[in-house]
Structure 1
Amino acid sequence: MTAAVVVLSCGVLTGCGGRSSAEPPSSPVSLLPSASASRSSSSAATGGPVAVLPATGATPAAWSRVDRQASSVAPHVAVVAAKMTASGQLQIVHQSGPTDARPLASMVKLYVLIAVAQAVQSGTLRWDQRLTLQSTDKAAGSGALIGAASGSTVTVQQAATLMIQISDNTATDLLIRAVGQSALAKAVASTGSSNAAKLVPFTTIRQDIWLEWSTSAAAVQARARWAGASTQTRMSLMAPATAPGSPVPDATGAGTTARWQDGLGYFASALDIAKAQVVLARLVRQKGLEPLQSILDVTRTGITTPTSWRQVSFKGGTVMGVQTGSWYARTTSGDEVLVVMASSPGGVNTASFNALASKAAAALAG
């Protein structure tokens, strides 16, 4: 059975990547073994957790203007702008807004890509290895792979490209199943995240949509018990989302409640995401991981990028009341990282968010 990959428009549940790029999958083969085991430590694969140097000196006028504009975009806007030092440290240029873990939406897919790259590096996955799509991998929202027939296959590289370039939710879930929970936990830890516990268990997009939006009795019970539940209990509570024959959950009838306000969904701080972008930039330079660069090179980043940004890796996200974006730029004078995360129960205007991120990018580039 062969299924073509058709590019669809991005949905409201997760963020858009940029250009669409994927070859159609070919004949199905059996699902590959889990890549949760690793023959090398995650810290060795990335050079250790990212070291951060705090900002120094007074706040320049350009950043004061960014902060004033941020207050008009949403009540909660976190900004981290930084430059990479010659020794590989993350030098903060400007940081403002909340420093705690905030809702990520599709920026969480950066961690999935790190886990995939580390699995390829350790030899438990290959870029050309084929993964077989199961019906319970299918997740609503943005992406194209949901339209492929169960039993179709894509390579690891194709799935990763779909996940980043068009924020494909089904491709993401296929990769999460391929690498496994242990590898995902190692990937998050390898970045030096200060909020790693908030991504345990690392739910699939399908599970997350079901947990946040389903009106079924099981989902209502799961939401009520989630906060105090152990990891094992949480996995059990989510079982109906991927039970054989279960329908693809969506937001139909979910109303207007932003569930992240109740602690549901994916969370990390803006600085955590900046570290994740740095780890990916390190991995790109590793032997055998060269495909990462084409996966990360997104031509539509949502903002006006500075002319000095020669090559840009981007991942953003959108969910009800949340808009996020992260950019890693290579320039002639060194690499730069920008993360902007906005959240408001009443919603975030995308155009206003992009205008703010554009101004922050200009301030960072100088």
Structure 2
Amino acid sequence: MTETPGTDTSPSTAQAQAQVDWLVDASARAPVTDAEIHDHIAAPLLAASGGPNAFNAVLHQLGPITLRRIVESGQDHAQAAVSGGDGDYLLRVRVDPSGLVNDVSLTPDEAPLSSWTQVDDMLGDLGARVSFAASRIGPDGRCELVHGVRADTQRPIGSAFKLYVLGALAQAVSEQRASWDESLAIRDDFKSLPSGRLQDCPAGTTVTMAEFADCMISLSDNTATDHLIHRLGRDAVVHQMDLFGHQQPRANIPCLTTKAFFQLKANQYPARADEYLALPEHHRSAALRELERLPLPEVRETWPQPRKIDQIEWFASPIDICNAYAALWRFDQPEIGHALTLNDDGLNLAPSRFPTVWYKGGSEPGVITLNYLARTSDDRTLVTSLMVSDAGTAPDKAGTALKGQAVIRGAFDLLTAEGV
């Protein structure tokens, strides 16, 4: 079909609300036919969900829900208050230009928090090793702490270190040492374990730097991450921490690739990890290069308990993460925002209040981090960072993440209410 100049191909408010109605109706009829699912769900979301059978499994697990009211709607989204078998929720739906659902999330419908004391009480329920910061990015582009709990305490951050890889790429682009449309060929020896999808691509497949960044951030793709680290240099990643105002960048020397991380924690553990930690610091880079030459370990599932999370990890504080987000914002490179807005992990902030939301988290057994930047409709830029860790036992990941997101939503409400 030829599109005539001036034709508006944006979805309508009615389309988004119609998809809310369909999801509510389908929740009571699961399983629905493959054809019906394809008529309502965009292909990329359906593929990411695992296909029609997986989508039906989610509908079945959700059970029948009822619509209470439409909370808000816009040109490409709608948010509804719904009730299910075990409580009240907010259902958010986004649609693509053809009106198909390309994002959907369900979060508890919580009463707004009224004080930072409530935030602190909720943080206290997450364990002893919790660090948190709620901040704004001021007119000078710098991070300003509004409320914190051990906000400058270094914690293991898991895949949130990929923010610094993204920063190193943006720095290289700004200095014309790289470009977003530059292509790299996937190499078998640079492949890592999931999460992600690029580990399944044949060697020689070419991927642009922008696509690597999208996968690294939105899917936490480890193979994308390692290809970028090898292209930019592990020293460049640590140097970016310094440029971003990280308080203790030396804690990340030498910078682990994700493949080296898995070699130390998933293969011959704890002997190999102990051998590595016994080395002087100036010998560890060479040891990592040797580990990266080895075949990937076969890992069917993640180890159940924490493994040296205070020695073999990536480290930062909530203040460091805020500074990193502020610096990434100052780059003003569209590719950065594109990568960071592809996945909000179901935080479900109201788009009318927060039209832009950036997210990068990280986890392994014993480590959970949630880090968000949100731009308000009145042009304020706010950042929250939550870090939970336990070197002895692994917190329930799903439960901790849900509680953590409730804290973060409440913190964003308080930040906007205070008019910072």
Normalised by the size of structure 2, how large is the TM-score?
A: 0.67
Q: What's the counterpart of residue 146 of structure 1?
A: 199
Q: Which amino acid aligns with 1:182?
A: D
Q: What's the counterpart of residue 324 of structure 2?
A: 276
Alpha-carbon distance in structure 1 between the residues aligned to 2:197 and 2:318: 28
> How has the CA–CA distance of structure 1 residues 118 and 250 changed in structure 2, closer, same or farther, with 3 Å as cutoff?
farther
Instruction: Give the deviation of 1:362 after TM superposition.
Output: 2.2
Instruction: Give the deviation of 1:354 after TM superposition.
Output: 2.2
Classify the secondary structure of the residue corresponding to 2:167: helix
Alpha-carbon distance in structure 1 between the residues aligned to 2:160 and 2:303: 24
1:143 and 1:169 in contact (8 A); partners too: yes
Q: Which of residues 340, 343, 346 is equivalent to 1:296?
A: 340
Give per-residue Cα distances to partners, 1:198-230, cap 9 Å, x unaligned. 111111111111112212xxx644421444533
Q: What's the counterpart of residue 362 of structure 2?
A: 317
> How has the CA–CA distance of structure 1 residues 283 and 7 changed in structure 2, closer, same or farther, with 3 Å as cutoff?
farther
Aligned residue pair count: 304
> How has the CA–CA distance of structure 1 residues 99 and 260 changed in structure 2, closer, same or farther, with 3 Å as cutoff?
farther
> How has the CA–CA distance of structure 1 residues 95 and 168 changed in structure 2, closer, same or farther, with 3 Å as cutoff?
same
1:81 and 1:337 in contact (8 A); partners too: yes
Matches within 5 A, 1:1-366: 62-97=115-150, 99-215=152-268, 220-227=270-277, 229-243=279-293, 246-252=294-300, 255-284=303-332, 289-305=333-349, 307-331=352-376, 332-344=378-390, 345-348=393-396, 349=399, 350-366=401-417
Q: Which amino acid aligns with 1:123?
A: Q
Q: What's the counterpart of residue 29 of structure 1?
A: none
Worse-superposed segment, 151-160 or 71-80: 71-80
Worse-superposed segment, 102-111 or 177-186: 177-186
1:101 and 1:269 in contact (8 A); partners too: yes
1:132 and 1:152 in contact (8 A); partners too: yes
Instruction: Give the deviation of 1:255 after TM superposition.
Output: 4.5
Give per-residue Cα distances to partners, 1:33-80, cap 9 Å, x unaligned. xxxxxxxxxxxxxxxxxxxxxxxxxxx961110111112123322110
Give per-residue Cα distances to partners, 1:183-207, cap 9 Å, x unaligned. 2122111011112011111111111
Instruction: Give the deviation of 1:110 after TM superposition.
Output: 0.1
Classify the secondary structure of the residue corresponding to 1:193: coil
1:76 and 1:98 in contact (8 A); partners too: no
Q: Which amino acid aligns with 2:355?
A: R
Q: Which amino acid aligns with 2:206?
A: T
> How has the CA–CA distance of structure 1 residues 262 and 291 changed in structure 2, closer, same or farther, with 3 Å as cutoff?
closer
Q: Which amino acid aligns with 1:323?
A: I
Alpha-carbon distance in structure 1 between the residues aligned to 2:411 and 2:116: 7
Q: What's the counterpart of residue 56 of structure 2?
A: none
Normalised by the size of structure 1, how large is the TM-score?
A: 0.76
1:9 and 1:142 in contact (8 A); partners too: no
2:123 and 2:130 in contact (8 A); partners too: yes
Alpha-carbon distance in structure 1 between the residues aligned to 2:151 and 2:326: 21
Q: Which amino acid aligns with 1:300?
A: D
Instruction: Give the deviation of 1:253 after TM superposition.
Output: 8.2
Consecutive unaligned residues of structure 2, counting only runs of 5 or more, are 1-45, 51-93, 95-112
Instruction: Give the deviation of 1:168 after TM superposition.
Output: 0.7
Matched-pair identity in %: 27
Instruction: Give the deviation of 1:159 after TM superposition.
Output: 0.5
Worse-superposed segment, 223-232 or 349-358: 223-232
Q: Which amino acid aligns with 2:142?
A: Q
Q: Which amino acid aligns with 1:238?
A: L
Alpha-carbon distance in structure 1 between the residues aligned to 2:244 and 2:322: 9
Instruction: Give the deviation of 1:239 after TM superposition.
Output: 3.6
Q: What's the counterpart of residue 37 of structure 1?
A: none
Consecutive unaligned residues of structure 1, counting only runs of 5 or more, are 1-5, 11-18, 20-59
Q: Which amino acid aligns with 1:139?
A: S
2:305 and 2:394 in contact (8 A); partners too: no
> How has the CA–CA distance of structure 1 residues 190 and 162 changed in structure 2, closer, same or farther, with 3 Å as cutoff?
same
Give per-residue Cα distances to partners, 1:111-149, cap 9 Å, x unaligned. 000000111111111111111111121111210100001
> How has the CA–CA distance of structure 1 residues 291 and 98 changed in structure 2, closer, same or farther, with 3 Å as cutoff?
closer
Classify the secondary structure of the residue corresponding to 1:276: helix
Of structures 1 and 2, the one with the larger relative CO (CA 8 A, separation 6+) is: 1
Q: Which amino acid aligns with 2:280?
A: S
Worse-superposed segment, 93-102 or 254-263: 254-263
Q: Which amino acid aligns with 1:136?
A: D
Classify the secondary structure of the residue corresponding to 1:259: coil
Q: Which has more radius of gyration? A: 2
Instruction: Give the deviation of 1:91 after TM superposition.
Output: 1.8
Classify the secondary structure of the residue corresponding to 2:354: coil
